[in-house]
Amino acid sequence: MNWGMIDRYAKSLIREAGHKIRVSFFNTIDIESKADANDLVTNIDRGIEQFFIKRIRKDFPDHKIFGEEGFGDQIDSLDGIIWMLDPIDGTMNFIHQKRNFAISLGIYMDGMGILGYIYDVMNDDFYHAMKGEGAYYNDERLPALESTPLELAIIGVNASWVAPNRRIENEPIAKMVQACRGTRSYGSAAIELAYVASGRIDAYMSLRLSPWDIAGGMVIAQEVGAIATNMKGEKPHLLGQDTFIVAKPKLHDELLTNYIQLK
Ligand code: IPD
Ligand code: CA
Ligand code: CA
Ligand code: CA
C-alpha cells in the first residue's frame, strides 16, 4: 500500500473541504435537529461528507467510508481500509460560533490506525500523523508528551458531570476538578484530542463518542505517547459509540483509577 500517496491525497482533499466550509458562510446555512433538539446537523455537514465520499469512491473504489452523516458504507467489520470521517466535528460551534470546529479523518487498515488528520478549519491549523512517523502540527513535529502531575494538569471535561448524572459518579469527578489546575470544554472532540497531542491540555474525556470523533485524533495522539482508551481502560470500540479518555500516560492511569467511576 502506498501510504505516502494516500497521505498526500487525503491532505489535499481535507484542505479543499476546509475551503468549501469557509466559503459556505457566505450563504444561508440550513439547520436541522437529529436525535434531539440540540443534536444539530446542517446542509454543510452533509455536503462535505458527500464531497469526500464521491472523491474517495472514484479514486479508491476498494476502500470503505464510515461517516457520521450516513452517506458512506454500512460498516460492521474493521476489515480492509476504512476512512472514518467526521465532515464537521463541533457542529454546534460551527453554527453558533463560526469557529472551533474541525474536519476529522482517520484511515484504518484491519482495525489499525495508519493515518490521522484533524483540520481546525477557521484557524487553518492542521494536525496530522502517520503511524510510526511522528505527529505534526502544520509543519512542526510534535514532541513526545512528558508526564504532568494532576495538580498541574488542564483537563478537558464537560461541566455537566460535576452535577448528579445517570452515567458517571459525580463526586469523584468534582474531586478531580478541584485537584487539577483547570478544566476546559471546547465542544469538538477532535480539537480536544489535537490539544492533548500538542500539549495544550493534558487530558480529555467523554462519556459517549463515535468512531469518526476519535479515529483521526487517536493516530495523532498515540504518535506522541498519549494513551487513548475507553473508560474501562480498553481499546475504544470503533464500530459504535463508546466512552473515551485520552491523556498523558501516568495521568491516564491516575484519572481512571482514582476519579472515573461509571455507574
Ligand atoms: C460532537 C462533538 C462534541 C462531543 C459530542 C460529539 P459533532 O460531534 O465532538 O464535542 O461532545 O459528543 O457528538 O456532532 O459536532 O460532530
Ligand atoms: Ca453530529
Ligand atoms: Ca463529531
Ligand atoms: Ca459531525
* Ligand 1 contact via 69 beta carbon (within 6 Å): no
- Is pLDDT above 90 for 138? yes
Least confident of 13-22, 162-171, 186-195, 246-255: 162-171
Output the CA torsion 58→60→61→67 (10° steps).
Answer: -90
- Is pLDDT above 90 for 42? yes
**Beta strand 182-184 pairing with 154-156:** parallel
Q: What is the CA radius of gyration of the chain?
A: 18
Which CATH class for the 150-258 domain?
alpha beta
| CATH 3.10.20.30 correct for 3-141 | no
State mean pLDDT over 147-167.
94
pLDDT on residue 1:
83
What values do phi and psi take at 250, rounded to 5?
-65, -35
Average pLDDT of the chain is: 97
* Ligand 1 contact via 149 beta carbon (within 6 Å): no
DSSP tag of 62? T
Residue 101 in contact with residue 95, Cβ under 8 Å?
no
Q: What is the Å distance from ligand 2's center to 15 Cα?
A: 21
pLDDT one-digit tens code per residue, 179-216 = 999 999 999 999 999 999 999 999 999 999 999 999 99
pLDDT on residue 165:
87
pLDDT on residue 23:
97
Q: For the chain, what are the domain ranges?
A: 3-141, 150-258
* Ligand 1 contact via 206 beta carbon (within 6 Å): yes
All three cell numbers of 151: 495538580
State mean pLDDT over 212-221.
98
* Ligand 1 contact via 187 beta carbon (within 6 Å): yes
For residue 154, name the pLDDT band (cuts at 50, 70, 90). Answer: very high
Q: Give the number of whichever ligand sits closest to the CA of residue 186.
A: 1
Share above pLDDT 70 across residues of the chain, in percent, rounded to a whole number: 100
- Is pLDDT above 90 for 217? yes
